[in-house]
Amino acid sequence: MFELFREMNWSLLGTLAIVSAVVAWAGDIIGMKLGKKRVTFLKLRPKYTSRIISVITGIGIALFTLLVISVASEPVRTALFSMNYVQNQITSLTAELQQNRTNIQEMELELFRSKGDVIEKQEELQILEEKLSSGTKNLKEARSELEKMTILKDKTEEEQKMLLEEKAILEQESKKLEASVTALKQEAEKLKADIQHLREGRIAALTGERLAQGVISGPESTAHQIDQAVDRLIGEAQALLAYRFGTKPESIKRPLVDKSSIDRAKSVISKTPGRYLLRLTALSNAVEGEPVMAELETYNSKLIFNSGDMLAEKDIKKGSSREDVEETLFIMLRDVNSRAVREGVLRDPLSGNVGSIDTSEFMQVIEYITNSKSDVRLRIFAAQDIYTEGPVKIRFKTN
């Protein structure tokens, strides 16, 4: 209740009371003065005139009060002059409010339904998420399995490729082996024929045997000069075969030299002039009465050892037995042979040696060392200039 009093516009009420009192007081004064003067209005008695003035003063008080209230308070002004409008507004707003309430209720109902739909959708979404999670897991497993299968596929393809390559290699090797078997069969048949010939006659030459060799040198060697050198080698080989059979060279068939080997020699020597070794070697076994098949080998010949170069050196203690001295000399000769081969001296195709020594000189050295009363320093020197073709001729020197 006190709140009601606090909400009242006491300043407005006070103003109204004061204004009403002033107007009433003024009206009373005016009425009394008019009554004393006995003023009449419309020929009425002064008493009635005074009443009419009081009524007019009351009306004035009311109008003035309304005017003051209207000026002082906008709500009052609105209530006095726009009441119908306000009522229409209130009616419209009330209807609109009611409609809004209805809409709110409908929206609340729709919201409730939507909440239900949302809950259902959330449940469906949860189910879909579970399915998606399961599908993702299955997808990862499938991808992992696919990667494994891809790796296995690549590995299998690589293995297949390797197997195909190995198959191709094996097929090539098989063809080579077949060709080798065929060649071996032909060679075996040829060997059988050669053995038969060997049994039936004397051996003229062995496969790989050196028949003859010579050196050709000069700033330029023409094809004609090479042909002449080959003819000389063929003549030497023919003489060698005749010597073996104890007959004249004219009765021995000339060796048949492979033409391609001669052409190779011409090509090499014509391109790079210098000192070359031409060696004639037997291509196959041959017996008396048939021509020897040969080929021409070409080697670049150079100086290996100068005459007087020391090739080996060894100190031999006094009192050594003959066997020990012989073994020492053989070891030194073997070392000289190996060194000469390393330096570039060509071996004999059959014996594998690069030279020979004087047997009498060899025996004299053994006797000298065996009978020596002091230690002996044995040295081996080159007896002459030694080239690629050899032979390695040596001389011994003691102390």
Q: How far apart are CA 214 and CA 212, in angstroms?
A: 7
Domain ranges in the chain are 2-81, 203-301, 304-398
How much of the chain exceeds pLDDT 90, in percent?
Answer: 0
Q: Which residues are 299's β-sheet partners?
A: 277
Q: Is the pLDDT of residue 223 over 60?
A: yes
Token representation of residue 322? 């003959």
Q: Is the pLDDT of residue 385 over 60?
A: yes
Q: How far apart are CA 327 and CA 315, in angstroms?
A: 13
Q: How far apart are CA 159 and CA 204, in angstroms?
A: 56
For 227-236, what is the mean pLDDT?
A: 83
Q: Which residue type sits at 274?
A: G
Q: pLDDT digit string (tens) for 186-208?
A: 877 766 665 555 444 466 667 77
pLDDT-based confidence at residue 260 (cuts at 50, 70, 90): confident
> What's residue 76's pLDDT?
62
Please name the residues in contact with 328: beta carbons below 8 A apart, sequence gap of 6 or more. Answer: 314, 316, 320, 378
Q: Is the pLDDT of residue 19 over 80?
A: no
Higher-confidence residue of 83 and 100: namely 100
* φ and ψ of 191, to 5 deg: -65, -40
Query: Residues 101-107: contacts with CB within 8 Å, 24+ apart?
Result: none
Higher-confidence residue of 10 and 324: namely 324
Q: pLDDT digit string (tens) for 270-302?
A: 777 788 888 888 877 766 667 778 888 888 888
pLDDT-based confidence at residue 36 (cuts at 50, 70, 90): low
Answer left, alpha or beta for residue 344, where phi above 0 means left and psi between -120 and 50 means alpha: left
Please name the residues in contact with 146: beta carbons below 8 A apart, sequence gap of 6 or more. Answer: none
Half-sphere CA count of 250, side-chain side, radius 13 A: 0
Cα–Cα distance list, 198 to 245, 248, 277, 284 (Å): 14, 22, 31, 12
**242, 249 in Cβ contact below 8 A?**
yes
Higher-confidence residue of 157 and 207: namely 157
